[in-house]
Amino acid sequence: MLEIELRALTRARRLARLTSRRPWICSPCRNTLARRPQWRAMGTAPVVGDKKPFYVTTPIFYVNAAPHVGHMYTMVLADVLKRWQVLLGNRDAKLLTGTDEHGLKIQQAAAALGMKPQDLCNENCQTFRNLASAANVDHDHFIRTTDSEHKDAVRYFWDMLNHRGYIYTSKHEGWYSVSDEAFYPISAVQPIVEPQTGRKLVASIETGKEVQWTSEENYHFRLSAFKDRLLEFYRNNPDFITPRNYMTGIMRSVSTKLEDLSISRPTSRLKWGIPVPYDNSQVIYVWLDALVNYLTYAGYPFPPNAKSIWPADVHVVGKDILRFHSIYWPAFLMALDLPLPRRIMAHAHWKMNHEKMSKSTNNVVNPHFAIDRHGLDTMRFFLIIDGPQTTDSNYDNAFIVERYKKDLQGILGNLTSRLMRSKRWNVRESITIAVEGRLPETISENLRHKEFLESMPDRVKAEMEQLDPRRALNSVMEIIKETNRFFHNMSPWALTHHVDLSRPSELDWILYNTAESLRIGGILLQPFMPQKAALLLNMLGVSEEVEKRSFSAARYGADADYGVPSLDLKRGKFNGTLFPPLLCED
């Protein structure tokens, strides 16, 4: 398309020179070419060999209020997916996060504070940047919808939809939610009584947010034209949305009634947004604006023959915005013959006091306070292993403390200390004996545990390929828990009284199996708990070389060189404790 437009412009300019008359160019082409962005390095799609980098995204977060722990959960989910790819060896994997900064909520929030919308965006955007940093999210770019290159990409995207005949003007009437930035049909709303005030109102059945009847003239996208293509795509790609329980609702929504979508708002009530090209009386619908962000970072509009990270391999989203990502977004991309994202990973909500966390009701948990209280990797561990991927989960400090004391401190930390800090044996010598093939004939428990360890990495990998980090983390912890039982039942401390420690024995089998369990588990824990996993591997003396801590090294017998801690386990503040007592347990 771009090459055709450029050739048309070249021919027109040549004709103009011959006739000394101004060339005529159609409005979309003229507007687009006049505004063609000069893509800066940050916005240009990375080029890495012949293989497209793995590309994962979070939703861009709305900046009308500060983030809560639910936002941290979404960020950490995406971060785990990216770090897992790096663990597999895909070191050019990319993670995009950022902020959504247009729309009526921003306009109203700024007005209530006596601020300009841009100033409010600048201030609140930083809180999300800070959260990404505090949560140790390894993102490659932080995008803002107020970035100039994004605005250019959105206008170009609109131009192309318009140029292809998918946009028209019409009067629109319906129930509109300012909070959700969406229109709802009458079948999707219901009268309710607000619990806090007793006020009667009409609200969205899906989100519970108040809606108001609105009638206005605006631009529409021919969404209904994509009903059959969307359904065919879902049938051909049954894993497009995971967990699968979400796919059923999306297919039912598309098959029953798919109406054209209002994609602009009149400036008479909304001024804070990207103006519709050629019509300053309308601004572009915030969700059309927001969704294009995933393309903006990928370098859209793509230069001819350029390599790109598009399509996204995984969009991580909350279930409340799944409709926008799994219906509207694919339809927009289909309209322009652009590749669709490969997977959408949806998750449910964290609840506080058995109600959905919401910035508007202040029923939230401050993620920074939670990190300070429980520790970063403790929070990452809790959010993933107890996270609401399929159904909503209730957040409670007591649950975090229980997980910490039972699983992290009581099992993983305790097992590591018992193995590596004991004066009764030498772990390095047992590893050397095993590597040299001098282990004696053994009893069945040792062989069973070896077989168990050999099977677990591939199981964890399969669960991550299914976009199920919760199950994968449970499997990693199964390695640790099973090894803790193995270690306790085999009682290696008792054997030290009956064997010659200078000769290979059953004791060496037990110590080697336990060390291998912790080494393999530590490698697999890295995407979930980067700091604690690194500390665990240091305690085991695993080299910091990349290949020694990669997924390929998470194989039984893959490392012959560890066993001597790379830090002092007896001195200093660390004092050999992987998970020290919590300062606050209530």
Has residue 357 got a pLDDT over 90?
A: no
pLDDT tens per residue, range 505-531: 899 999 999 999 999 999 999 999 999
As given in the structure block, the two tokens for residue 84 are 């897992």
Which pLDDT band holds residue 199 (cuts at 50, 70, 90)? confident
Residues 148 and 174 in one domain: no
- Whether cis (ω within 30° of 0) applies to the bond prior to 457 is no
At 361 the pLDDT is: 67
- pLDDT of 338 above 80: yes
Q: Give the model's pLDDT for residue 419.
A: 96
Query: Which CATH number characterizes residue 77's domain?
Result: 3.40.50.620
Task: Please report the pLDDT score of residue 36 as a whole number.
Answer: 41
Phi, psi dihedrals of residue 75, rounded to the nearest 5°: -60, -45
pLDDT single digits (tens) 89-132: 999 999 999 999 999 889 999 999 999 999 999 999 999 999 99
Listed range (225-234, 252-261, 292-301) with the worst mean pLDDT: 252-261
Let me know whether 321 and 220 are in one domain.
no
Residue 322 scores a pLDDT above 50: yes
| Whether 106 and 218 share a structural domain | no
- Please give the average per-residue pLDDT across 141-160, as a whole number: 97
Per-residue pLDDT at 40 exceeds 90: no
Do the domain assignments include residue 283? no
- Dist. CA 375–CA 372, nearest whole Å: 6
Q: Provide the CATH number for the domain around residue 490.
A: 1.10.730.10
Cβ atoms 57, 78 nearer than 8 A: yes
Lowest pLDDT segment from 190-199, 252-261, 560-569: 190-199
- What is the structure's pLDDT at 574? 62
> In total, how many domains does the chain have?
3
- Which of 324, 343, 374 terminates a domain? The answer is 374
Report helix, strand or coil for 215. Answer: strand
- Do 141 and 201 fall into the same domain? no
Q: Annotate 77-109 with DSSP letters as a single string.
A: HHHHHHHHHHHHT-TT-EEEEEEE--SHHHHHH
Do 245 and 310 share a domain, yes or no? Answer: no
380 located within any domain: no
HSE-CB at 41 with a 13 A cutoff on CA atoms is 1
DSSP, residue by residue, 366-377: -HHHHHHHH-HH
Query: What pLDDT does residue 548 have?
Result: 98
Max avg pLDDT among 25-29, 489-493, 536-540? 536-540
Q: How far is CA 116 from the centre of its chain?
A: 31
Rounded to 5 degrees, φ, ψ at 145 are -75, -10
The burial of 289, by beta-carbon neighbours within 10 Å (0-12 exposed, 13-18 middle, 19 or more buried), is given as buried
Which residue has 């490659």 as its token pair? 140
Q: How far apart are CA 88 and CA 54, in angstroms?
A: 11
Judgement on whether residues 445 and 545 belong to the same structural domain of the protein: yes
3-state secondary structure of 275: strand
Percent of the chain residues topping a pLDDT of 70: 86
Is residue 190 very low, low, confident or very high in pLDDT (cuts 50, 70, 90)?
A: confident
Do 40 and 13 lie in a common domain? yes
Dist CA 467 CA 314 (whole Å): 9
d(CA 309, CA 341): 11
pLDDT band at 407 (very low <50, low <70, confident <90, very high): very high
In eight-state DSSP terms, residue 132 is H
Mean pLDDT, the chain, as a whole number? 87
Are 515 and 436 contained in the same domain?
yes
Residue 526 has which token pair? Answer: 């890295």
* Residues 379-403 pLDDT 10s: 999 999 999 988 999 999 999 999 9
- What is the average pLDDT across 248-271? 92
Q: Do 302 and 248 reside in the same domain of the chain? A: no
Do 10 and 86 fall into the same domain?
yes
**Within-domain flag for 574:** no
CATH of the domain at 251: 2.170.220.10
The whole-model pTM stands at 0.86
- Where residue 257 falls among pLDDT bands split at 50, 70, 90? confident
More confident of the two residues 187 and 127:
127
Query: Does residue 573 form part of some domain?
Result: no
pLDDT at 472 over 50: yes
Residue 444 lies in a domain: yes
Residues 6+ apart with CB under 8 A from 571: none
Per-residue pLDDT tens over the stretch 6-21: 343 333 333 333 322 2
Tell whether 417 and 517 lie within a shared domain. Answer: yes
Of 501, 394, 508, nearest to 440 (Cα)?
A: 508
- Quick check: 71 pLDDT over 70? yes
Judgement on whether residues 319 and 412 belong to the same structural domain of the protein = no
Amino acid at 335: A
The full DSSP string for 322-340 is: HHIIIIIHHHHHHHTTPPP
Question: Each residue of 472-485: b (16+ CB within 10 Å) or e?
Answer: bbebbbebbbbbbe
Last residue of a domain, which of 219, 246, 262?
262
Q: Which helix (H) or strand (E) holds 71?
A: helix 69-88
| DSSP state at residue 363 | B
Residue 49's pLDDT is 44
Name the percent of the chain lying above pLDDT 90: 71
User: Which one is predicted more confidently, 441 or 398?
Assistant: 398
pLDDT tens-digit readout, 415-438: 999 999 998 999 999 999 999 999
Domain enclosing residue 467, as ranges: 396-553
Inside any domain, residue 390: no
Residue 297 CB neighbour total at 10 angstroms: 29
* 315 DSSP β-pair partners: 57, 344
pLDDT over 70 at 332, yes or no: yes
